[in-house]
Structure 1
Amino acid sequence: MRRRVLLGMWWLAATAYAEPIFVPLRAVAPDVVQEIRYRGSDNFLGRTVTGYEQGECLLTPSAAKALARVQLRAEAFGLGLKVYDCYRPQRSVDDFVAWAVDLDDTRMKRQYYPDVPKSELFAQGYIAARSGHSRGSTVDLTLVSATARQRPASVIGEDCRRAPHEGGRYPSLTMGSGYDCFDPVSHTRYPHLDETARHNRLLLLLLMESEGFSNYDKEWWHFTLVDEPYPDRYFDLPLSGSVSQEVP
């Protein structure tokens, strides 16, 4: 049966194609933790990113349902998922590009790209003018432990290569680097990880691949649904507004 959802259904207009549909992840997988980093200042820009008027994870229905199945698989290990980013408007990607070409803005360098010159972020594959996130079937995420959810956590502002504990009630498992760490240590198969981080990355990879997601090898946290419904489209509706619609 289809469910009617009042919160956060976005319809994106398309010219010569059928209208694409994005759904709020919490309507499909309410137990997935959401920590949308670009809504606040804990990100490599150090501010809210253009287009993130709300901090809500939106995905295509097929991606959201696949992620719900990953969550169920993770729960069998006493774990769960935490998403950092889902659908990303093209205007947000444009904001990243504008920031990357402003070589004078290095406020967040020590935390997010300590060893990579800002001028090389494009060449090294960390920033691009187009993103799979704008197609609605790409997600940035990590694993959290069900038993750690009440532990206060700590450090914002440290070198991302030291994999600091994250703030909030849902600290992630050790992954060998922080989220959005522009450094080789973030490559999924970085060879110098300790055993715990290597194990956790492999588990996340296997869980996601088991439900049809593929990893971007320069970012352990970045996955795209292989059979995504809009592989050649890039959408630009900001993360704001809500419409009452049905979840397919």
Structure 2
Amino acid sequence: MKPYQTIPIQDCKEPIAAIPLEQFTVVSPHPYQSLGAPYGDYSPYFLRTGVMQKLLQAQAALSAQHPGWHLQIFDAYRPIAVQQFMVDYTFAQLARAAGLDPDDLSDEARSHLHAKVLEFWAVPSANPNTPPPHSTGGAIDLTLTDAAGKAVDMGSPIDEISPRSYPNHFADSDETVLQKAHYHRSLLAEIMTNAGFRQHPKEWWHFSAGDQLWAWQEGNGAIARYGNASQVISQVIS
């Protein structure tokens, strides 16, 4: 169990809605759908309505600072089945990168790889008390695009399993290109946190509002107001 999963949830039943993608840029095709992740009738481009308003506020602030720049949506709502698919996929990819067969591992190797995966990925838990952040409709992964519509350099790709993903990994670098990447990360963090989001401590691209991770970072007895969004999103889909 991760520390934030001890935070109590009092789901406010806030509706979930489609992200107005025309106001942002989008990673296309959707990275997890292209791998075969089982979204079914659900869309990865959904958020709780309160989170949506914060996202629109962040985009407005970015446009004011850098005209023509946009937040680029990588991933948002994620059903539990998709979370499980991506955890399994990432585990297999790490095993193969190490020259190992993911279906034929020692207990020690399996435990080591699982620990690396779960440093970044949330456990795909169906327990209503411990939903993965993305399954609440309160979390989003994103980056930045410039006025030409090109993704800016952030120093490492989204979902990389390494310390390079930590938000301040390049803060002390004396290399110009990495200083620029750190500036872009800092800009993204500033825009999002000023809108009411909290950043994942180990992922420069992940921000949330209203979920357990957000409440844990808020402190002062904050509770999560978003639990598993499966019921509120099913009402939208149906």
> Among residues 176, 188, 205, which one is paired with 2:167 in the alignment?
188
Counterpart residue type for residue 36 of structure 2: T
Counterpart residue type for residue 45 of structure 2: C
What percentage of aligned pairs have identical amino acids? 22
Q: Which moved more, 1:183-192 or 1:194-203?
A: 183-192
CA–CA distance in 2 between the matches of 1:74 and 1:55? 25
TM-score, length basis structure 1:
0.65
CA–CA distance in 2 between the matches of 1:104 and 1:216? 22
Q: CA deviation at 1:201?
A: 0.5
- Equivalence for 2:47: 59
2:153 aligned with 1:174, yes or no? yes
2:229 aligned with 1:235, yes or no? yes
Q: CA deviation at 1:240?
A: 9.2
Two-structure CA RMSD over aligned residues (Å): 3.4
Q: CA deviation at 1:128?
A: 2.5
- Equivalence for 1:31: 23
- Equivalence for 2:185: 201
Deviations 1:67-105 (A, max 9, x none): 011111111212111010111111111223444565896
- Equivalence for 2:3: none
TM-score, length basis structure 2:
0.67
Any residues of structure 2 matched to 1:1-248 within 5 Å, and which?
19-26=13-20, 30-35=22-27, 36-40=30-34, 47-51=35-39, 56-76=44-64, 77-78=66-67, 79-99=69-89, 106=96, 118-129=113-124, 130-146=131-147, 148-149=148-149, 171-191=150-170, 192=173, 194-226=178-210, 231=225, 233-236=227-230
CA–CA distance in 2 between the matches of 1:143 and 1:108? 31
Deviations 1:205-227 (A, max 9, x none): 00001100000021100000157
Counterpart residue type for residue 234 of structure 1: N
Q: Check conservation: 2:44, 2:78, Cα contact below 8 A.
A: no
Counterpart residue type for residue 203 of structure 1: L
CA–CA distance in 2 between the matches of 1:104 and 1:217? 22
Residues 211 and 106 (structure 1), Cα distance of their counterparts in 2 relative to 1, 3 Å cut: same
Please identify which structure carries the higher helix content.
2
Q: Check conservation: 2:166, 2:201, Cα contact below 8 A.
A: yes
| Structure 2: segments with no counterpart, 5+ residues | 1-9, 100-111, 125-130, 215-222
Tell me the secondary structure at the aligned position of residue 22 of structure 2.
Answer: coil
Tell me the secondary structure at the aligned position of residue 219 of structure 1.
Answer: coil
CA–CA distance in 2 between the matches of 1:174 and 1:217? 20
Residues 19 and 69 (structure 1), Cα distance of their counterparts in 2 relative to 1, 3 Å cut: closer
CA–CA distance in 2 between the matches of 1:187 and 1:123? 14
Tell me the secondary structure at the aligned position of residue 32 of structure 2.
Answer: helix
Q: Which moved more, 1:79-88 or 1:227-236?
A: 227-236
Residues 101 and 33 (structure 1), Cα distance of their counterparts in 2 relative to 1, 3 Å cut: closer
Aligned length: 192
